[in-house]
Structure 1
Amino acid sequence: MGITARGVGLLAAAVALLGVGFRFAYPELTVLGVAAAVAVGYALVTAAWRPRLTVERVADPDRVARGEPAAMTLTVRNGGRLRAASLVAEDRCGGRLVPVPLLRLRPGRHTEVRYEVPTHRRGVVPVGPLRVTRRDPLGLVTLARSYGGRVPVWVHPRIHPLTAVPTGAGRSLDGRTDSVPHGSITFDSLREYVVGDELRRVHWRTSARVGELMVRENVDTSLPRMVVVLDNRAGAHPERVDGLAESFESACEAAASVVAAAVREDLPVSLLLVAPPEGDPAGASGPMDRLAAVDLADGGADVLPTAMSRLRQERSGDTLVFLTGPGARGELGHVGALRGAYPSVVVGVFGAAEPMPVGAAGLVVVDAADGAGFAAEWDGIRRW
């Protein structure tokens, strides 16, 4: 609750009038002081009244690609029983405030407001809460309250269609079709039994040791397993335009395009970050949400070598796609050291002033100005 300048002046006048009136026995001044004090008290009571409002938000849709339309539908219901509400309300949408008219909202009634959510930039746009401001008729006291929670709208990077996909290190004579559920005959891990699993896949020795049925999880080694690594170090993307690193945005679009192409072809794919955050953002589901929420991170000189060493130890695929910016041109040797662990290594460099030398560090290097240029160069790769 805040008292306006008018309210502070009137309260000071009330104190002065009452003091002078009682001290020097001026009943007229005392009456004026009492009237001023009553006005301030009435303003406090009026502003303190809390309307019973119920706020609901529905995003349509809640996940879009950059530049696609998205809208938020806000429904405000008056849960009170006695009086109508005429309020000044604003809904927060990202970095702007959207006015919400609440004029004579009767008890039990509701009003609905629909407005566009800005999607011109990749990221997670928080919408809410609704901020309701109460003022008394004299403008002496102002009180603001928040209603409802926040609803995120996930703005994914643009996806550029990719026609070509890696063929993988191992190749099946029957092609990429695998009719065996949960992989083929190559052991990958153990997991708990669920209804519907075949009993012939139960690992009885482990089940007897842990006291629960454990099932073998197999993988198909004939399928290429892709690992997309996004370089989110601030040093790799030094150039900024209006606070935005265009090379990093292009790298995010390229990562989204590769992931989407792998999912379309039913290929295993994983998305990793050079400087991983402490945890995934709340509500994130899948790599596209991670790409929407990822931001540049300040990392030391050992961040990239540590990440490459981790990739070498894990060997989580046979095709590595490393996406970075112009600031990492001199550090691609760390990526080239992975060629022994990953038979196919493709590096995408965005926003470089001049192209990398052909065959630099023994890698397949794609120089591109943006995500669309990367997609065109990607489809032209003849060797993986």
Structure 2
Amino acid sequence: MTLRGITTRGLGVAAAAVVLPLLGFRYGYPDLALLGAAAALALACGIIFAVWRPRLGVERVADPDRVARGEPAAMTLTVRNTSRVRAANLVAADRCGAADVPVPLLRLRPGRDTTVEYPVPTTRRGIVAVGPLRVTRTDPLGLLTLSRAYGGTATVWVHPRIHLLRAVPAGMARSLDGRIDKVPHGTITFDSLREYVVGDELRRVHWRSSAKVGELMVREQLDTSEPTIVVLLDDRAAAHPALRDGTAESFEAACEAAASIVAAAVREDLPVVLHLVSGRVEGPFLDVLTEASLRDGDLTQTVRTLRQSRLGDTLVYLTGPGGRVDLGEVGGLRGPYPVVIAGLFGDPDAAPVSAGGSLIVIEAEDGEQFAGAWDGVRGW
């Protein structure tokens, strides 16, 4: 329960309840004392009325609870008067993000319910907390107001906008003799020979070796080249200096690019790994990108970790204007990662990057422009 405040009228009545009886008894004016007692009685009745706690059941359902930025999402709120004897004549508001949504509860009879549906704002990436329901009661004389919270909260995840990427890195095939070649997808390659066992396919029998050994020998094959994409999102505040309303447009564009790459890899059934410069990633990738915010991070340490772990064969580094000076450091991963791509956002007026062939640089203002430039890259 929260006491929102005694109204101006309530303050006047409270003062009268204290002062008038004192003046009446001191100077012998019983009428003043009577008025003071009436004021005290009115204040007590107002407190009793406002303190009464209505019994309400609150349920809310988000449809959907995960949505891409800009797509519609709705919250359905059902409030039921679980009291058996008293109707609820209330003023209520449901908290939705930074706004309050009015909920009509006038004359809600016992056992009845009311349902309200309203849109959830999805114009910004992030987590929108909805609830709890705040119910306000004011006594008939308007002396004081009390507010209570009902029900729990719900969460709507506003994921970064996903842009269609038609091109996906093909990956690299590492053969047994150490050669590295590009392949469209995972490649099945000869690994070794072993003796034939019942159930082996005859088409895998290596007849020449079988003739030399004197018994059937079959080929063991190995998938040597399942391509893996590693997405490194630069969430350092220094990389995205142009803050506006608590975030940077370059960082929003980088999150959209990361989400688009992850979605394209999943669509093509390719392994994908997401890393943040600030630390480890835990949970579904789209949820991680939804929660991502600008903070401190050590790019040098992250590059060292990626060099040692060698998580894949295609590295995509997504950064903002402040990350331009770090492209050379990331380009140094060209050894352990045969293909290194950098997405540079929010710096359209700067001179074009000359990477010297160590990495492919895509400069874009937003996620949509990045998707178009991504599909235009050749020679992966």
TM-score by length of 1: 0.83
State the match for 1:291 in structure 2: 289
State the match for 1:66 in structure 2: 69
* Contact 1:321-1:345 at 8 Å conserved across structures: yes
In structure 1, C-alpha distance between the alignment counterparts of 2:224 and 2:165, rounded to whole Å: 23
Residue 20 (1) aligns with residue 10 (2): no
In the TM superposition, residue 156 of structure 1 has moved relative to its aligned partner by 1.0
In structure 2, C-alpha distance between the alignment counterparts of 1:147 and 1:16, rounded to whole Å: 38
* Contact 1:91-1:130 at 8 Å conserved across structures: yes
State the match for 1:107 in structure 2: 110
* Contact 1:91-1:128 at 8 Å conserved across structures: yes
* Contact 2:170-2:184 at 8 Å conserved across structures: no
Bigger Rg, structure 1 or 2: 2
State the match for 1:357 in structure 2: 353
User: Where in structure 1 are there 5+ consecutive unaligned residues?
Assistant: 180-184, 186-218
In structure 2, C-alpha distance between the alignment counterparts of 1:369 and 1:308, rounded to whole Å: 25
Cα separation, partners in 2 of 1:381 and 1:39, compared to 1, 3 Å: same
State the match for 1:162 in structure 2: 165
Q: Is the partner of 2:173 in helix, strand or coil?
A: coil
In the TM superposition, residue 351 of structure 1 has moved relative to its aligned partner by 1.6
In the TM superposition, residue 241 of structure 1 has moved relative to its aligned partner by 4.4
State the match for 2:273 in structure 1: 270
**Per residue, is there more strand in 1 or in 2?**
2
* Contact 1:171-1:223 at 8 Å conserved across structures: no
Q: What's the % identity of the aligned pairs?
A: 61
State the match for 1:338 in structure 2: 333
Q: Is the partner of 1:127 in helix, strand or coil?
A: strand
Q: Deviations over 1:174-206 (max 9, x none)?
A: 964699xxxxx9xxxxxxxxxxxxxxxxxxxxx
In structure 2, C-alpha distance between the alignment counterparts of 1:74 and 1:146, rounded to whole Å: 14
Q: Deviations over 1:91-133 (max 9, x none)?
A: 1111111110101111111100001111111111111111111
Match of 1:324 among 301, 315, 319: 319
State the match for 1:377 in structure 2: 373
* Contact 2:242-2:248 at 8 Å conserved across structures: yes
Q: Is the partner of 1:170 in helix, strand or coil?
A: strand
Q: Deviations over 1:241-264 (max 9, x none)?
A: 455411111111110110000000
In structure 1, C-alpha distance between the alignment counterparts of 2:127 and 2:96, rounded to whole Å: 11
1:158-307 alignment runs, 5 A limit: 158-170=161-173, 176=185, 221-276=224-279, 286-299=284-297, 303-307=298-302
* Contact 1:332-1:361 at 8 Å conserved across structures: no
In structure 2, C-alpha distance between the alignment counterparts of 1:86 and 1:360, rounded to whole Å: 72
In the TM superposition, residue 57 of structure 1 has moved relative to its aligned partner by 0.8
* Contact 1:355-1:367 at 8 Å conserved across structures: no
Cα separation, partners in 2 of 1:35 and 1:369, compared to 1, 3 Å: same
* Contact 1:333-1:361 at 8 Å conserved across structures: no
Q: Deviations over 1:208-262 (max 9, x none)?
A: xxxxxxxxxxx95421111111111111111234554111111111101100000
State the match for 1:207 in structure 2: none
Cα separation, partners in 2 of 1:107 and 1:338, compared to 1, 3 Å: same
Q: Is the partner of 1:6 in helix, strand or coil?
A: helix
State the match for 2:205 in structure 1: none
* Contact 2:84-2:110 at 8 Å conserved across structures: yes
Query: What is the identity, as a one-letter code, of the residue corresponding to 2:332?
Result: A
In the TM superposition, residue 168 of structure 1 has moved relative to its aligned partner by 1.4
* Contact 2:231-2:316 at 8 Å conserved across structures: yes
Cα separation, partners in 2 of 1:178 and 1:90, compared to 1, 3 Å: farther
Q: Deviations over 1:251-282 (max 9, x none)?
A: 111101100000001111121111138x86xx
Residue 31 (1) aligns with residue 34 (2): yes
* Contact 1:228-1:322 at 8 Å conserved across structures: yes
* Contact 2:247-2:294 at 8 Å conserved across structures: no
In structure 2, C-alpha distance between the alignment counterparts of 1:321 and 1:364, rounded to whole Å: 9
CA RMSD of aligned residues (A): 2.2
Q: Is the partner of 1:72 in helix, strand or coil?
A: strand
